[in-house]
């Protein structure tokens, strides 16, 4: 047994696990609160259109929540591998661990989890984030990881995305993430405008803005894919290599973009061919209700009591006497 139990003194005793990101929780809470508010006021919506009204708001809130949420997720591209690898620099001690790579629009997340978690008298459970967003310095985050003495697999994977790496993928991912994020922010703005137009019963312009939202979402995916498809050197961890594929955020964004595209096209087609059905979907068709109101107010027979009381033959009018002053 060595003096430091196989560990060098500049390594911290406690694991530096990444703290919980509350941004997504706040976004989900806000949109769920809005949905709960709409459900509470649902009984006050008259007629059979209340379910269509609720469906419109559920779809609208879902689109907005997804567009805003994927800005802060870190699973646009993910990959996992299980390997026997060295745990710390300048040490021959190896551990069996699951190593995960999660790439988002604003940075990369590297996960290290032991199999089992308790090995070599330590708890191997790390989740480190290295940011390349505006106002963040990736090289500084990597240098801080070196100073903290992070495990070798985390530093090895993070080094692949640095500027000094021979892989040369840092610039591609950083630029693609910035422009994809900008497209999503524009899509969020166009989504807000479409919700406002639908609330003002301007259906054609609302459908066009929904199509613009879908275009921006799909274009953001295209921008991110350009970095994903660039040639990069493999991340080799012993006998196995870490490979990544599109993550949940990518597929969720793609589904949301296709949903906006289908809804926008459906609104434009119905507006040009069957505007009555479109008005019925948006609870704007008042013709049937007006007919029912007219039938209830108009008399059934021409000799109605109301008419008898109001219509008087001209011959039966009394002649008034005028007094000469």
Instruction: Give the 3-state DSSP-derived string for 42-61, with helices as H, strands as E and coil as C.
Output: HHHCCCCCHHHHHHHHHHHH
pTM of the model: 0.78
User: Which of 191-195, 202-206, 229-233, 241-245 has the least mean pLDDT?
Assistant: 229-233
- Whether 79 has a pLDDT exceeding 50, the answer reads yes
Q: Which segments of 200-320 does DSSP mark as H helices, in order? A: 203-228, 248-273, 275-281, 287-297, 305-310
What tokens does 261 get? 């595209």
Distance CA(128)–CA(130), nearest Å, equals 7
Angle between helices 152-159 and 138-148 (to 10 degrees): 160
User: Which of 185-189, 198-202, 263-267, 298-302 has the least mean pLDDT?
Assistant: 298-302
234 with 167: CB under 8 angstroms? no
Nearest residue to 156 via CA among 224, 106, 81: 81
Residue 295: per-residue pLDDT: 45
Q: Report angle CA 309, 311, 316 to the nearest 5 degrees.
A: 100
Percent of the chain exceeding pLDDT 90 equals 35
- The more confident residue out of 260 and 8 is 260
**Looking at the DSSP assignment, which residues form a beta bridge with residue 96?**
84
pLDDT tens figures, 244-266: 899 999 999 999 999 999 999 99
Residue 16: per-residue pLDDT: 42
- Whether 315 has a pLDDT exceeding 70, the answer reads no
pLDDT tens figures, 207-251: 999 999 999 999 999 999 887 766 567 888 878 888 889 999 999
């Amino acid at each position: 047994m060595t003096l430091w139990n196989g560990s060098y003194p500049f390594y911290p005793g406690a694991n530096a696990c990444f703290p919980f990101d509350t941004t997504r929780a706040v976004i989900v809470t806000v949109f769920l609160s809005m949905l709960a508010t709409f459900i509470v006021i649902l009984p006050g919506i008259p007629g059979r259109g209340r379910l269509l009204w609720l469906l419109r708001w559920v779809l609208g809130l879902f689109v907005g929540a997804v567009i805003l949420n994927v800005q802060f997720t870190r699973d646009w591209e993910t990959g996992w591998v299980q390997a026997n690898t060295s745990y710390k620099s300048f040490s021959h001690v190896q551990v069996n661990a699951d190593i995960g790579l999660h790439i988002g629009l604003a940075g990369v997340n590297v996960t290290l989890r032991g199999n089992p978690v308790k090995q070599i008298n330590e708890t191997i459970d790390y989740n480190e984030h290295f940011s390349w967003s505006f106002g963040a310095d990736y090289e500084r985050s990597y240098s801080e990881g070196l100073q903290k003495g992070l495990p070798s697999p985390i530093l090895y994977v993070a080094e692949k995305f640095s500027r000094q790496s021979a892989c040369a993928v840092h610039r591609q991912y950083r630029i693609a993430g910035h422009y994809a994020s900008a497209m999503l922010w524009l899509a969020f703005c166009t989504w807000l405008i479409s919700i406002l137009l639908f609330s003002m019963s301007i259906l054609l312009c609302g459908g066009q803005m929904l199509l613009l939202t879908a275009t921006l979402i799909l274009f953001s995916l295209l921008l991110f894919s350009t970095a994903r498809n660039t040639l990069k050197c493999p991340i080799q961890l012993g006998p196995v290599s870490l490979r990544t594929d599109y993550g949940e955020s990518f597929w969720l964004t793609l589904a949301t973009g296709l949903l906006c595209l289908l809804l926008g096209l459906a609104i434009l087609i119905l507006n040009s061919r069957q505007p009555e059905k479109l008005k019925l979907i948006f609870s704007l068709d008042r013709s049937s209700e007006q007919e029912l109101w007219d039938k209830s107010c108009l008399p059934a027979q021409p000799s109605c009591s109301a008419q008898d009381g109001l219509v008087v033959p001209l011959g039966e009018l009394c002649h008034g006497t005028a007094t000469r002053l």
